[in-house]
Chain A
Amino acid sequence: MTAESDARARALEAQPLRPAGPTQGLFRGTVTSLRDIAGQAGLLRLLVRRELKARYKDSALGFFWSLAKPLAMLLVYYVAIGKFLNAEQSPVRNPGGIPDFAVFIFTGLTAWQLFSDIVVGGTGSIVGNAGLIKKVYLPREVFPLSAIGASLVNFAIQLVVLVGATAVFGRFPAGGRWGYFALAFVVLVVYSTALALLLSAVNVYLRDVQYLVEILIMILFWASPIIYAWRYVDGAIDGLVEWVYLANPMTQVVLGFQRTFWVAGDGEPYPPDLGAGLGVTLVVSVVLLWVAQRVFARLQANFAQEL
């Protein structure tokens, strides 16, 4: 036996035996999971790069396509809803309409696009990486997280366009109103990450989930004030129904975004205590994220054999 192998054996002897695979248990497991995921930061970065690079690799316009979809949606809603259905404010035709309708829609669409990217992309991420999961042990959280990372990059580009648009319209958001954005953004990321983790794990066992998610995303799009203003809702519902509508985290997030970027809408009504509501939602979302991670850790034990 060589000196090198002897040294290795000595070094190994100093280590305790550890279980192969993830640690179960509520609190101890959380700590180990977090440490494992943090240890894979390099891999996570590479996986995000892979998602982004591979997506538009051979197309001539490349990354532009990630912007094309929200811009097309903006155009469609602006023309169909803003012009034809006459939702946009114009001094002559419709003085009571929504001011700066394009900015208003794009604000909501930007928030929604991030949510739907994270949830849809995250849900399919484990099944999509089946080849890797069956062959290598990694903390499996990296796959939903890499989908989330790629969505965030797209979001950043869209945000630049949005901020640019507010500058072009001459109503650039400034000062304390960015506080709403920061809070809403954190809520959005935490909440959608929790959903992505949970759904990605469930999707392994029940492949119907990914199709269900796509439909729910489409329905929920209309359950938040993205292309109609909050004041129309305020007049239509009240009591418990209104409370439920406002308890939807995405409604709060969209309103938070509008509070920041939709400067022309400053005179518009907002639900009372939007900031406090977002704060409560943040706490709930963090708890939800923790629960989702524990469920994920429990379910991932059998990923390799279910895929």
Chain B
Amino acid sequence: MAVTVVELSHVSKRFVIHKEKSLKERLVNAGRSKLHKEDFWALRDVDLEIESGSTVGLVGPNGSGKSTLLKLTGGILQPTSGSVRLRGRLAALLELGAGFHPDLTGRENVYLNAAVLGISKAQTDRYFDAIVDFSGIEPFIDTQVKFYSSGMYVRLAFAVAVHVDPDILLVDEVLAVGDEPFQRKCMDRIRGFQQEGRTIVLVSHALGQVADLCDRAIVLEKGQVRADGPPRDALRVLRDDFEETRRQDVEQARRAATVEGEKPAPVTVTSIGLVTRGAPSDLLTMRPGDDLLVQVHVESEGSLDGWNLGIALKTNYGQMVLATDAVMIGKPLPRVSGGATVQFRLPHLMLGEGDYAVDAALSFDGVTEAARLSEGAHLVVASTGHSVGYTHVDPEVTVL
């Protein structure tokens, strides 16, 4: 069973950007104050319901309103219009060590930070040893935190943070702290929270992490919900948007270059074709161990000289599985004009079961991309189901 724990209805948030702050400036500019104000809508008419026990990832480009949404949910900011309603206890981890005072010892700061996060004194007493243990900085617990290294600081802060006991946990970009073993501990803890049916809302730029942890992703763009659903679908929308932005950047760079006079030949990667077992298709099913032919079609107005073409296989979460290019293979591409079709042969491709996408990119100097086609083709690998992961083998098991 699941109940709604967070409910946002028609939430908008406007920031007024004042360009003056002091009394003098306000008096002097009283009549013209309109000139010195600027409206900025961080969120526009957002409707959202989050159910208990779900883990929701908020993703989007910088400035899309993710953090604002989180702060509104946490009650740190108030919406300009609309309402935010909650059920249950809420804790916000928007910054590690909020309220840490450099002059106080680690021990004192643990108690202070715990109180800030809503943990009672009795609970902190009970958890204190566990917190110190989790942080792994026991020898320094009675040292003033201003003498801590930055790693020790975040470890202690995180240790306190994971001992909160909320029904709803808001997390903003704070999961990636400490070294790898510590990060693993943090992730285990988050999974524990999920097991206990706590609701987690996290903002992250690490899309892989979102895909990994969340059962729902919300893509925000310019203050509006662009996509909302299973992480796979939502993240694809976001990636497409990023791709669009990138293409515009490339376009702009090219236009700028044109102005400067050195005009590179307009070149595009028009399509990617996949062939396996003799059957070409742009979405095909293959079995592990099949040969895969990737045919990339390139069109160019002028002639192509000193060029390089590469392909990459990605999972649907954007994780690159395999990439190669002509230079890497050691077969530089010859001079062509008008266009060409380049074929890569990937023999005995032992991919694990799942959906994959193929990208192709073209460059001249090996650094700057001149053209790219993202997810130009898709393929599905159907295997025996005897193993999971990106690669496939037919495993055997015996008792020795």
A residues engaging B (CB < 8 A)? Answer: 1-2, 4-13, 15-22, 40, 42-43, 46-47, 49-50, 53-54, 57-58, 131-138, 206-208, 301-302, 304-305
Contact = CB atoms under 8 A, between A and B. Distances in A.
Contacts of B99: 131-132, 136
Given A43-B115, A50-B112, A135-B76, A1 B85 contact: no
Interface in B52-108: 52-53, 71-78, 83-88, 90, 92, 94-95, 98-99, 101, 103-104, 108
Nearest to A208: B23
Nearest to B25: A208
B4 interface: yes
Interface of B: 1-5, 7, 15, 21-24, 26, 52-53, 71-78, 83-88, 90, 92, 94-95, 98-99, 101, 103-104, 108, 111-112, 115-117, 120-121, 144, 167, 195-198
A9 B1 contact: yes
Contact of A12 (B3, B92, B112, B196): B3
Contact of A20 (B84, B95, B115, B196): B84
A5 B3 CA distance: 11
A12 B87 CA distance: 6
Contacts of B144: 57
B74 A5 contact: no
B344 to A, nearest CB: 45
Given A6-B1, A50-B112, A136-B99, 7 more contacts: A9-B197, A50-B104, A57-B104, A131-B98, A132-B98, A135-B94, A136-B94
A46 B98 contact: no
Contact of B115 (A4, A22, A46): A46
Nearest to A138: B116
Contacts of B88: 11-12, 15
Contacts of A136: 74, 76, 92, 94, 98-99, 116-117
Max chain A CB contacts within 10 Å: which of B15, B75, B108?
Answer: B75
A20 B85 contact: yes
A9 B199 CA distance: 10
B78 A301 contact: yes
A136 B84 CA distance: 16
Contacts of A138: 116
A173 to B, nearest CB: 38
B195 A5 contact: yes
Nearest to A15: B87
Contact of B73 (A13, A20, A134): A20
A9 B87 contact: no
B8 to A, nearest CB: 9
A57 B147 CA distance: 14
A1 B321 CA distance: 32
Given A20-B86, A46-B115, A8 B21 contact: no
Contact of B74 (A8, A13, A20): A20
Contacts of A58: 103
Contact of B116 (A7, A12, A19, A43): A43
B74 A53 contact: no
Contacts of A54: 101, 103-104
A19 B84 contact: yes
B115 A18 contact: no
6 smallest CB-CB distances across A and B, nearest first, come from A5-B197, A21-B75, A20-B75, A301-B78, A43-B115, A17-B85
A12 B99 CA distance: 29
A124 to B, nearest CB: 16
B103 A53 contact: yes
